[in-house]
Amino acid sequence: MGTLRSFVASYPEFLLAALSFLSLALLRLALRSRQLLVPVSWPVVGMLPFVFGNLGRLLDAAMDALRECGCTFMFRGPWLAGADFLVTCDPAVVHHCLAANFGNYDKGRGFAEMFEVVGDGLLVADAASWARQRLVVAAVFASPAFRTFVLSTMARQAERLVAFLDHAAGGVVELEDVFTRFSLDVSYASVFADDLGTLSFAAVAAGAPVPAFGEATRVASEAVLFRHVVPAWWWKLLRWLNVGIERRHAEAKAVLDDVVYREIEKRKKSQPLIAGGQGDGGDLLSMFMAWPRDPSMSDRERDQFLRDAVVGYMFAAKDLIVAALTWFSYMLCTHPHVEAAILAELKSLRPTATGGKGGQHAVFDADALRSAPYLHAAVLETLRLFPPAPFEEKEALGEDVLPDGTRVAKGTPIVFCIYAMGRIDGIWGDDCHEFRPERWLTGSGRVRHEPSHKFAVFNCGPRSCLGRNLGLSNLKIAAAAIIYNFQLELVEGQVVEPLNSVVLHTKNGLRVRVVRREAA
């Protein structure tokens, strides 16, 4: 009995010692793994030490591993955790899974759970639900009314961005924060035909908080990232307990729901619908509400469809604008010869709007920028090196054999590393790490087409992004307005590198000095 009491008394110390030993062992493995390009699957912990050893540079570590492994490898998680998944950046595999054998690979229920905030929208929907939604979204996006409305909205918001930067001229701004506010205004106006007013110089200078709707989108994005980096049981426990980031996520989702559903009800009462798919305006919500109703849908189901559609669009549009413009600006700051070439190209065009004192500020619309192939090439080159969504996820519905001979079991998650795909010399050549817009131009100066399974920034196959051309036009409008009117100078001493996230933001922001072009 005395021996038993002694063991019980010493049990906490024994447990502490065991945990300390395991922690030190894991740390040692992490340090050793950091020195290895190819992940090693250790007993019990699998390849987890590789992740811990490269937490600050996970995307680049994955790129190095993929290069060494021939563009595909199986990541092994801890024993019994069910955390194994296939990682690839092989264009042949991308084409096989996302196009040729598209029916065997779905988003999976786990993916939809992590992106709970967008409901059952097109971003996460599978099978029949996806097919129905894509039919409606494709028709809306192809509508001249919607395209005209979105592009005119971007041009108007670009004028406000120019005005904001003009106020800030001579000083330093955190550009990623500016683009975050700008993207919220653009996406909100495109959906609701209303101004959120986030990018106000007076409000920013006074430190005024982002409006509740904008703050809700930020919190929701953080929650999606959190769900990606912790075990599913952990965030589900927090959700059940309603604490921490999961509580803030639920509150943010409630704010989004409240705004969107109130707007839907307001439109029902005030906007007559016109047969043929046109309502009172070309904004996204009006276009969706004017679409012929599915008779099998109840009022509640239709409202849910409208809510999911507009929230999903806002998240996709916002993330593209923020990430792409931030990295595009950084590339121009570090490649002045590219900036000079774009500026020369823009000076050969006629601005479509002027403003500011004496009308010295200019903005170009999408039609004018059709004659700016070098600008287009520079945007594509930015997206190649810094894709806003650095990876894509799928799940195998059945057994399969990939083009490289890799066998895939049913239920295997597959991660397509889009970030790595743009930086592998076997795909893009020995200069793949260089920012060189010329690679996108033919000998005659036209923009070169690359297959989507090689340049998968806008996905590939049946799920290819419907808003690709519209998104590129929006980016060019904003980029041209900035380049033509201002010179951005990178503040010295800062480290600009990618954040490990579901959206490729910078880790520490992007601080630049804004100089008016005439004074540059």
pLDDT in tens, 335-385: 999 999 999 999 999 887 666 555 568 899 999 999 999 999 999 999 999
How many domains in the chain? 1
Beta strands in 299-435 (DSSP E): 353-355, 361-363, 391-396, 400-401, 407-408, 413-417
Beta-bridge partners for 405: none
> Known binder of ligand: residue 71?
no
pLDDT of residue 154: 92
Q: Is residue 301 part of a domain?
A: yes
State residue 403 phi and psi, 5-degree precision: -55, -30
Q: Which of helix, strand or coil describes residue 193?
A: coil
Give yes or no for a contact between 273 and 284, defined as CB atoms under 8 angstroms apart.
no
CB proximity list for 261: less than 8 A, separation 6 or greater: 303, 307
In this prediction, residues 150-175 reach a mean pLDDT of 92
Q: Which of helix, strand or coil describes residue 333?
A: helix
Least confident piece of the model among 18-32, 41-55, 162-176, 328-342: 18-32
* Residue among 198, 165, 164, 155 at smallest CA distance from 476: 155
Least confident piece of the model among 27-31, 72-76, 378-382: 27-31
Q: Is residue 29 part of a domain?
A: no
CB-CB neighbours of 422 under 10 Å? 24
In this prediction, residues 461-482 reach a mean pLDDT of 92
Q: Is residue 434 part of a domain?
A: yes
Q: Is residue 8 part of a domain?
A: no
Confidence of residue 514 (pLDDT cuts 50, 70, 90): very high
Confidence (pTM): 0.88
Q: Is residue 25 part of a domain?
A: no
The string of pLDDT tens digits covering residues 275-309 is 334 445 789 999 988 887 778 888 888 888 899 98
pLDDT of residue 427: 94
Residue 50 maps to which CATH number?
1.10.630.10
Residues spanned by the domain of 425: 40-516
pLDDT of residue 519: 44
**Token pair of 242 as six digits:** 């309603």
Q: Is the pLDDT of residue 240 over 80?
A: yes
Q: Is residue 4 part of a domain?
A: no
Confidence of residue 243 (pLDDT cuts 50, 70, 90): very high
> Helices 336-347 and 468-485 sit at what angle, rounded to 10 degrees?
90
Confidence of residue 485 (pLDDT cuts 50, 70, 90): very high
How far, in Å, are 29, 81, 366, 456, 487 from residue 459 at the CA level? 36, 29, 23, 5, 33
**Residues in the chain, total:** 520
Q: Is residue 217 part of a domain?
A: yes
Q: Which residues of 20-45 are buried (b: 16+ CB within 10 A; e: fewer)?
A: eeeeeebeebbeebbeeeebeebeeb
Q: Is residue 27 part of a domain?
A: no
Least confident piece of the model among 119-123, 417-421, 435-439: 119-123
Beta strands in 138-210 (DSSP E): 172-174
**Token pair of 492 as six digits:** 């010295």
CB proximity list for 23: less than 8 A, separation 6 or greater: none
More confident residue, 265 or 381: 381
